[in-house]
Amino acid sequence: MLKAIRRAVDRHRHGQGAYAHLFERYQGDEVIALDCETTGLDPRSAELVSIAAVPVREERALSGSALDIRLRRPAGLSGDSIRIHRLRPMDLSDGLSVEDALVALLDFIGNRPLLGWCIDFDVAVINRHLRPRFGFELPNATIEVSALYQRYLRRTQPDVTPDLRFEAIAKALSVPELERHSAKGDATTTALMYLRLKKLGAVASTN
Amino acid sequence: MIRLDLAQLPFSLLDDDALAQLRQGADVAYYDRGEVILDAGDVGQHVFVIEKGAVEELDLSAPSARARIGLYTHGDLFGAISVLNGHSRYRFVADQETLCYLIPGVLFSRLCEASAPFADYFRQRLAEKSRLLTEQREGGVTMAGFMLARVSECMRAPLLLEAGDTIQDAVRALNKQRADSVLVFREGELGIVTKTDMLNAMVLQGRDVGAALGDVAEYRLVTVAPDEFLFAALVKMTRHEVARVVVLRQGRPVGVVELPDVLSYFSSRSYVVGLEVEKAGDLEALALASARLPELVRALMAQGVKLRFAMDLLAALNGRIMSKAFGFVVPAARQAQSCLIVMGSEGRGEQILKTDQDNGLILADDVDWPDREPVLARFSDTLLTLGYPPCPGHVMVNNPEWVHSVAGWRARIARWALLRDGASMMKLAIMLDAHAIAGDLTLLDKVRAALFDQCSRDELLLSQFARSVLKFSTPLTLFGSLKKPQHGIDIKKGGIFPIVHGVRTLALQARIDATSTFVRLERLAASGVLSREMAEDLGEAMSLFAELRLHQQLQRMADGEPGEGSLLVVQKLPSLERDMLRDALHVVSDFRQHLSRRFHLEY
């Protein structure tokens, strides 16, 4: 409820601004598979390390023309997270500032729907940085791939308790995990899960 | 975003920078079973690499419903040709759920530009593929044959002299025995003296002709045993940089193997057969020599000799045999007044095993030879005993239809050109391939000139003449759908005939007097009638067809299964040959379209 009100307010405030197009209803049939690597799992404190956005068009994941951003070393880059995404401080020395990264991201995704595994987390982390700088949050529609999978499973195998972990879904849909824990790799894998579910008839038309 | 092993061909031809671009630039796509990935006629925008699943390649130009010409699975790559050509010739359909990496065409073209080997891999044309195949075959059959030969089959008897004998003695012995080296024993030790050793001793060391051999001999010998493989002897020669090895049996010299002997070991057989033909003083000797031709063909093929050269050699030998037979049967005075011609594949020099007798006779205009018929009948019978079966169409000198004076031939050619029915066209085609092998060879030139004058500028006649290239369809559609072994592709009708006849038509128009399809192609390319590329492709396709056909015929002979060898069972071919066959049939198909346009055959 609160979200809806916020969005309405954002739209009202920015409907005439530089980012007005973000608030328009999306008419096409593309989606953006989004994945962020962060310094932690708490959306209130996690800092962005890298962001990848892979467009999905027809039956293809356009990983070749994906957005793949690395950010400048955030304060919270610690040993724990380095072990997961393998980005050391030195790898991030020539990264973008959060500000520039968000501009690039907004330009790239436009008003296309965002697709992800636990997409709410990624959107929440981005929004935390977006609101203080731009005055609004991502207005894009979101598609949760694990929810699509759950719905598909409930229809085809009602007795099975779904395993909604990323690896489990990939395995069940026989999608290869391309580069686990790289933003672009995970985003592409997510895109493939989505394509697979679409073929299986588990995705309603995106319009 | 490619998880594939990029260390395999063709990606292994790329450098790290290009591989990084490839990893970064590839898209990924999912296709359901039955989904069309790339349709025939589509613009080729991507090169596809399969991560998972299988894709079949279908030829839609086939009248029959589905003609699967290829199947690709994990790690395979397709669509590259479509990107290079601009559009796809075939339809690619997912045979099961398939995950593909898509390399954008722009990126692919950039990689091709950056790496010549990578580009070559894809642009590998028919000629190069053919070379690969030959290499493969040479590596297989020839090496096997070579390795199976033993030293004892190829050694010369040793020439043994005493250590006290002089250089002069040695030279005399060498000349007498036509050898290159002598062996000497000195105090139980074996040494060798070559011509070079003696030359060095006399010229460089100033010894005289009376010097003892024992003093100039080389005692560090490279030796082999008689039952060792010949190949091992060659390896030893290469390793020790010597041109001969001594063959020892239990310490005793039993022979010498010379490098030239090893090298000529396999090619010597053609020489021997040729010699036997020339030496033959009567028909029986000729028949014996003639009977060895199939064996010669097999030996040449096993050595990986290019089929074209084998055919040339065989045509020359067959020509010599017939010419000799002609000399035995026909009186000398008559030989000078007439010209024996061979026609059909023999005229073109493209028969590989023995073919039918296709021959005729041209008489000089002023000759009166009333009792020729029994003589010519005897000649045909003679060829029969030499192993040339009669021509089913009866194109033979014992048929008066194919024996005329120059004026007579001119009149017949004029009549054929006027009639323009199927039989006349066929006779014109037969006559166009005529090749003179005995008698007064200039008589054929006169007849050929008449043929060119009559036909080469008559567009309507040429069009009519060319039409039969469309008679048999190219059997491209049959791939994959053949099941029973007796079914197969008729390589002669679907492949060889359209090339031979199309080239023949173009040669007629361009007044090219050569009869071999290969030479005609070269001349057509030289005079700009055909593009160099098309001529080369056609030549390679022609070689391939002939080679496949020959292998089949040899196989059947070995199995004791006589009969036509032109039906080719595609499934039995190794995949490289299958690919090449498909490419070659495409060349034929393109050529037919080219001819259709050129001679307006669409109507």
pLDDT in tens, A1-23: 567 777 777 777 776 777 888 88
Q: Chain B residues with CB inside 8 Å of A179's CB?
A: 1, 3
Residue B575, burial from CB neighbour count under 10 angstroms (0-12, 13-18, 19+): exposed
How confident is the prediction for chain B on average, in pLDDT?
Answer: 80
Q: Do B52 and A176 touch (CB under 8 A)?
A: yes
- A54 lies in some domain: yes
Nearest-by-CA chain B residue for A55:
B27
Q: Chain B residues with CB inside 8 Å of A175's CB?
A: 99
Q: Do A185 and B104 touch (CB under 8 A)?
A: no
What secondary structure letter does DSSP report for B469?
Answer: G
- A131 lies in some domain: yes
Report helix, strand or coil for B363. strand
Q: Do B35 and A185 touch (CB under 8 A)?
A: no
Q: What are phi and psi of B476, to 5 degrees?
A: -65, -30
- Identify whether the C-beta of residue B415 lies closer than 8 Å to the C-beta of residue B314: no
CA dihedral B348→B350→B356→B361, nearest 10 degrees, is: 20
Which residues 78-97 in chain A show a CB within 8 A of chain B? none
> What is the amino acid identity at position B238?
T
CA dihedral B404→B406→B411→B413, nearest 10 degrees, is: 90
Q: Do A63 and B26 touch (CB under 8 A)?
A: yes
Residue B447 predicted with pLDDT over 70:
yes
CB burial readout B418-437, b (16+ within 10 A) else e: eeeeeebbebbbbbbbbbbb
Q: Do B25 and A178 touch (CB under 8 A)?
A: no
Q: Region B202-223: what's the mean pLDDT?
A: 88
Q: Chain A residues with CB inside 8 Å of B104's CB?
A: 64
Return d(Cα B337, Cα A80) in angstroms, integer: 104
- Pick B184 or B2 by higher pLDDT: B184
Q: Region B506-518: what's the mean pLDDT?
A: 90
Nearest-by-CA chain A residue for B25:
A64
- A83 lies in some domain: yes
What secondary structure letter does DSSP report for A206?
Answer: -
Residue B330 predicted with pLDDT over 70:
yes
Residue with tokens 């490098």: B259
Query: Which domain range does residue A52 map to?
Result: 27-199
Kind and range of the H or E run holding B436: strand B435-439
Return d(Cα B481, Cα B477) in angstroms, integer: 8
Q: Chain B residues with CB inside 8 Å of A60's CB?
A: 27-29, 102
Q: Do A176 and B32 touch (CB under 8 A)?
A: no
Interface test with B, best of A30, A56, A62 (most B CBs within 10 A): A62
- Identify whether the C-beta of residue B270 lies closer than 8 Å to the C-beta of residue B261: no
Return d(Cα B374, Cα B379) in angstroms, integer: 9
Distance from CA of A178 to the nearest CA of B (A): 6
Q: Do B99 and A192 touch (CB under 8 A)?
A: yes
CB burial readout B322-346, b (16+ within 10 A) else e: bbbbbeebbeeebbebbbbbbbbbb
- Identify whether the C-beta of residue A67 lies closer than 8 Å to the C-beta of residue A52: yes
- Pick B244 or B131 by higher pLDDT: B244
- Identify whether the C-beta of residue B455 lies closer than 8 Å to the C-beta of residue B510: no
Please name the residue ranges forming H helices in B368-496: 372-385, 406-419, 422-432, 442-455, 459-466, 491
Distance from CA of B99 to the nearest CA of A (A): 8
Return d(Cα A52, Cα A67) in angstroms, integer: 5
Distance from CA of A65 to the nearest CA of B (A): 7
Say what the pLDDT of residue A102 is: 92
Q: Region B456-463: what's the mean pLDDT?
A: 86
Q: Chain A residues with CB inside 8 Å of B98's CB?
A: none
Q: Chain A residues with CB inside 8 Å of B103's CB?
A: 64
Nearest-by-CA chain A residue for B105:
A64
Q: Do A176 and B99 touch (CB under 8 A)?
A: yes
Q: What is the pTM of this model?
A: 0.48
Say what the pLDDT of residue B566 is: 56
Return d(Cα B395, Cα B373) in angstroms, integer: 15
Nearest-by-CA chain A residue for B29:
A60
Which residues 163-202 in chain A show a CB within 8 A of chain B? 174-176, 178-179, 184-185, 188, 191-192, 195-196, 199
Q: pLDDT tens digit string along B54-65?
A: 888 877 765 444
Residue B532 predicted with pLDDT over 70:
yes
Residue B87 predicted with pLDDT over 90:
no
* Residues of B at the A interface, defined by Cβ within 8 angstroms: 1, 3, 24-32, 35, 51-52, 97, 99, 102-104, 107
- A12 lies in some domain: no
Say what the pLDDT of residue A207 is: 40
Return d(Cα B567, Cα B514) in angstroms, integer: 29
- Pick B392 or A51 by higher pLDDT: A51
pLDDT-derived band at B368 (thresholds 50, 70, 90) equals confident
Residue A46 predicted with pLDDT over 50:
yes
Kind and range of the H or E run holding A152: helix A145-156
Say what the pLDDT of residue A108 is: 93
Q: Region A111-122: what's the mean pLDDT?
A: 93
Return d(Cα B78, Cα B92) in angstroms, integer: 9
**Which of A78-82, A164-168, B277-281, B496-500 is the least confident region?**
A78-82
Say what the pLDDT of residue B412 is: 92
- Identify whether the C-beta of residue A100 lies closer than 8 Å to the C-beta of residue A69: no
pLDDT-derived band at B185 (thresholds 50, 70, 90) equals confident
Nearest beta carbon to residue A195 from set B26, B30, B103: B30
Q: Do A192 and B35 touch (CB under 8 A)?
A: no
Q: Do A178 and B107 touch (CB under 8 A)?
A: no
Most confident of B107-116, B385-394, B496-505: B496-505
Report the sign of the C-alpha dihedral through residues A83, A89, A94, A100, in that order: positive
Report the sign of the C-alpha dihedral through residues B161, B164, B166, B167, in that order: positive
Nearest beta carbon to residue B32 from set A176, A191, A199: A199
Q: Do A59 and B29 touch (CB under 8 A)?
A: yes
Token pair for B405:
């004076």
Nearest-by-CA chain B residue for A187:
B1
Q: Chain A residues with CB inside 8 Å of B48's CB?
A: none
Nearest beta carbon to residue A176 from set B31, B51, B107: B51
Return d(Cα B507, Cα B542) in angstroms, integer: 16
Say what the pLDDT of residue B501 is: 92
Nearest beta carbon to residue B31 from set A59, A184, A188: A59
Interface test with A, best of B2, B22, B27 (most A CBs within 10 A): B27
Q: What is the ipTM metric for this complex?
A: 0.76
Say what the pLDDT of residue A18 is: 76
Nearest to B536 by CA among B11, B211, B129: B129
Residue B485 predicted with pLDDT over 50:
no
- A147 lies in some domain: yes
Report helix, strand or coil for A88. coil
Return d(Cα B539, Cα B533) in angstroms, integer: 10
Residue A77 predicted with pLDDT over 70:
no
Q: Region A69-84: what's the mean pLDDT?
A: 68
Nearest to B225 by CA among B287, B155, B278, B160: B155
- Pick A59 or B59 by higher pLDDT: A59
Report the sign of the C-alpha dihedral through residues B216, B222, B227, B230, in that order: negative
Nearest beta carbon to residue A60 from set B25, B29, B97: B29
Nearest beta carbon to residue A64 from set B25, B30, B32: B25
Q: Do B1 and A185 touch (CB under 8 A)?
A: yes
pLDDT-derived band at A34 (thresholds 50, 70, 90) equals very high
Write the CA distances from B538 to B129, B312, B343, B516, B590, integer angstroms. Answer: 14, 18, 22, 13, 10
> What is the amino acid identity at position B435?
H
Say what the pLDDT of residue B142 is: 41
Give percent of chain B with pLDDT exceeding 70.
81
Say what the pLDDT of residue B97 is: 83
Return d(Cα B591, Cα B497) in angstroms, integer: 12
Residue A132, burial from CB neighbour count under 10 angstroms (0-12, 13-18, 19+): exposed
Q: Chain B residues with CB inside 8 Å of A59's CB?
A: 29-31, 35
Return d(Cα B262, Cα B275) in angstroms, integer: 20
- A76 lies in some domain: yes
Residue B140 predicted with pLDDT over 80:
no
Q: How many CB atoms lie within 10 A of CB A151?
A: 16
Q: Chain A residues with CB inside 8 Å of B28's CB?
A: 60-61, 63, 178, 188, 191-192
Q: pLDDT tens digit string along B401-434?
A: 899 999 999 999 999 988 888 888 888 999 999 9
Distance from CA of B26 to the nearest CA of A (A): 5
**Which of A151-160, B25-34, B87-96, B563-572 is the least confident region?**
B563-572
Return d(Cα B99, Cα B50) in angstroms, integer: 6
Nearest to B256 by CA among B110, B372, B174, B156: B156
Q: What are phi and psi of B64, to 5 degrees?
A: -70, 150
Residue B213 predicted with pLDDT over 70:
yes
What's the total number of domains in chain A? 1
- A164 lies in some domain: yes
Q: Chain B residues with CB inside 8 Å of A178's CB?
A: 1, 3, 28
Return d(Cα B365, Cα B443) in angstroms, integer: 9
Interface test with B, best of A35, A56, A60 (most B CBs within 10 A): A60
CATH number for the domain including A177? 3.30.420.10
Which residues 22-51 in chain A show a CB within 8 A of chain B? none
Q: Chain A residues with CB inside 8 Å of B51's CB?
A: 176
Return d(Cα B236, Cα A135) in angstroms, integer: 85
Q: Chain B residues with CB inside 8 Å of A185's CB?
A: 1
Say what the pLDDT of residue A43 is: 85
Say what the pLDDT of residue A91 is: 62
- A205 lies in some domain: no
Q: Which residues pair with B194 in a beta bridge?
A: B181
